[in-house]
Structure 1
Amino acid sequence: MDIRAVIVDDDPANRKLNRELLEEYFPEVQVVAEADSVDTAVDVLRKHNPDLLLLDIEIKGGSGFQVLQQLKPYRFKVVFITAFDHFAIRAFKFSAVDYILKPVNETEFQQAIQNALQSLMVYSDYQKQNEYLLDYYKKETQQGKIVLRTSDALHVVDFSEIIYCRSDNTYTTFYLLSGEEIVVSKSLKEYVSLLEEYGFFRPHQSYLVNMNYVKKVDKTDGGFVVMKNGKEIPVSLRQKKKIIELLEKL
């Protein structure tokens, strides 16, 4: 399947590099146009209506988000491009969007584009996903949700719906209040860094728990956490004292 792409970046060297990497690693992707500003990007995207957009966040005349706001509704897949920005990266991860960091690393570029091409096969509502990203990025709404991307769907989940998460090598399973289980192909470590400040705690290397659903901590040798749904979760010796202290503060 031929994929039509547009590159929007105000750095000519970066546009050239992205185009060359696409040509080298993804011959099925045809770059049909480029742009360097909000106005030219809007014009080009309306004219070409691509499948894939590589979009720099900071461009001439404003931001890449302004481009998207002017084009709603849209159905193309966006891969965001940005210089290293800790907050932006957290926003990307919470929203499960694909992104490329500057300076561009070839391996990371390939991974981002491969993810984007795979999602073109199974998803369609990229606009809503990007709006979650924009809300987080601009801090306009309370960050109480996370987007979980599985092999066949995008799930928008409230933090309050997550009882606990369990690691299985490179996969993480989210266990929800409804009884639903959502499996994503990312390591638990990635979600620990995102969710710890929202009341989650890692009692064991394989688990991340929502402290609001912890019923009690068993203090016997070995020890475990009992969740409100009856699930018993192991606690490492190193983490037992920390979780008891956290519970006493609740």
Structure 2
Amino acid sequence: MKIRTILVEDNPKIRESLGILLKSNFDDIEIIGEAEGVEDGEEIIKSLEPDFVIFDIDIINGTSFDILTNLKSKGGVAFKFIFLTAHSNTENTIKAIKYSANDFLVKPLDEAMLKDSVSVIIESIKQKQDQNHKLDLLLELLENPSNLNQRIGVQTAKGQIQNVILKDVIYLKSDGILTIFKFNNGSELKGFKNIGFYADNLCRDYDFIQVHQSILVNLNYLKTFTPATKKVLLVNGTELEASRNGTKVLKEYLMGFSPSRLKLGFMKDLLVKLRI
């Protein structure tokens, strides 16, 4: 089975090098067309009906999101896609792609990462997994950046995308190559990414902290922390154990409070939460 592929990139040299990398690494990939802007990109996709499209974000006369929005309004998107990003792309754009569980590659291209990402796409095509839910979430996050601080798309082992409201997540726990999300209603969800992926994102952009190599905690659900025993008690009664490094990080975080943190409501009762 050939994966009929289109490249949408306004830089001819990058298109050429990308084509060479794809052909040298994947017998399944067949490049059936190329485009450099919004108009010719939309036209060639509608005309050739590809299985897979690689989009540069910033292209002639707009962005690849313009193409996807137009195609969606005219009947939907039946192909798989990944994005190429550059340092010039805004932080919110990168977050929207990442938190909608869509894949992206950073330029200059890394061959190993390209192989990993395209391999996942090929497998999803063979399994006929739908990417429209990812696209819906991506376009919504791009249109409403304030939602970036509220939810993310989590891909399950079955290839489905679950819309996760972050304020409902108490903690995350590693389960091999998967990650288990524990919610405040007692339910759980297995995400098809290792906990390192979520640690990189949630600890930087949200109210989460890594207390152990295998555990991320939502600080809004922290009840008490006892450094002497490394015990982390959550408001629902769950007791977790921090690692030595996690104990250090959490203690430093709690002790290093500031008015801005208190304003955000992280640590209203600091002396109660931190039992020394």
Post-superposition shift, 1:34? 0.9
Normalised to the residue count of structure 2, the TM-score between the two structures is 0.81
Aligned pair 1:150/2:156, yes or no?
yes
Q: Which residue of 2 aligns with 1:109?
A: 114
Which structure 2 residues correspond to residues 5-44 of structure 1 after superposition, within 5 A? 5-44=5-44
Structure 2's unaligned 5+ residue stretches are 258-265, 271-276
Q: Which residue of 1 aligns with 2:251?
A: 240
Whole-angstrom distance in 2 between the partners of 1:90 and 1:10: 23
Structure 1 residues 141 and 217: CA distance shift in structure 2, 3 A: closer
Q: 1:92 aligns with which of 97, 108, 115?
A: 97
Stretch of structure 1 that moved more, 60-69 or 16-25: 16-25
Whole-angstrom distance in 2 between the partners of 1:248 and 1:48: 58
Q: Deviations along 1:66-85, whole A, 9 cap, x unmatched? A: 01111111111111112134
Post-superposition shift, 1:113? 0.6
Aligned residue type for 1:80: F
Whole-angstrom distance in 2 between the partners of 1:237 and 1:209: 12
Q: Deviations along 1:162-197, whole A, 9 cap, x unmatched? A: 110113454322112343333334332332232233
Stretch of structure 1 that moved more, 54-63 or 163-172: 163-172
Whole-angstrom distance in 1 between the partners of 2:27 and 2:7: 15
Aligned residue type for 1:237: T
Whole-angstrom distance in 1 between the partners of 2:62 and 2:24: 31
Q: Which residue of 1 aligns with 2:262?
A: none
Q: Which residue of 1 aligns with 2:220?
A: 212
Structure 1's unaligned 5+ residue stretches are none
Structure 1 residues 121 and 174: CA distance shift in structure 2, 3 A: farther
Stretch of structure 1 that moved more, 98-107 or 202-211: 202-211
Aligned pair 1:76/2:79, yes or no?
yes
2:227–2:247 CA contact under 8 A, matched in 1: no
Post-superposition shift, 1:240? 3.1
Post-superposition shift, 1:141? 4.5
Normalised to the residue count of structure 1, the TM-score between the two structures is 0.88
Whole-angstrom distance in 1 between the partners of 2:253 and 2:146: 31
Whole-angstrom distance in 2 between the partners of 1:68 and 1:249: 47
Which structure 2 residues correspond to residues 84-233 of structure 1 after superposition, within 5 A? 84=87, 85=89, 87=91, 88-122=93-127, 124-143=129-148, 144-152=150-158, 153-168=160-175, 170-196=177-203, 197-214=205-222, 216-219=223-226, 221-233=228-240
Aligned residues: 249
Equivalent position SS for 2:147: coil
Structure 1 residues 99 and 237: CA distance shift in structure 2, 3 A: closer
Equivalent position SS for 1:248: coil
Whole-angstrom distance in 2 between the partners of 1:94 and 1:47: 31
Structure 1 residues 30 and 38: CA distance shift in structure 2, 3 A: same
1:123–1:154 CA contact under 8 A, matched in 2: no
2:97–2:104 CA contact under 8 A, matched in 1: yes
The alignment-based identity, stated in percent, is: 29
Equivalent position SS for 2:267: helix
Aligned residue type for 1:28: D
Whole-angstrom distance in 2 between the partners of 1:172 and 1:61: 40
Whole-angstrom distance in 1 between the partners of 2:57 and 2:225: 48
Whole-angstrom distance in 1 between the partners of 2:226 and 2:187: 30
Equivalent position SS for 1:91: helix
Stretch of structure 1 that moved more, 122-131 or 47-56: 122-131
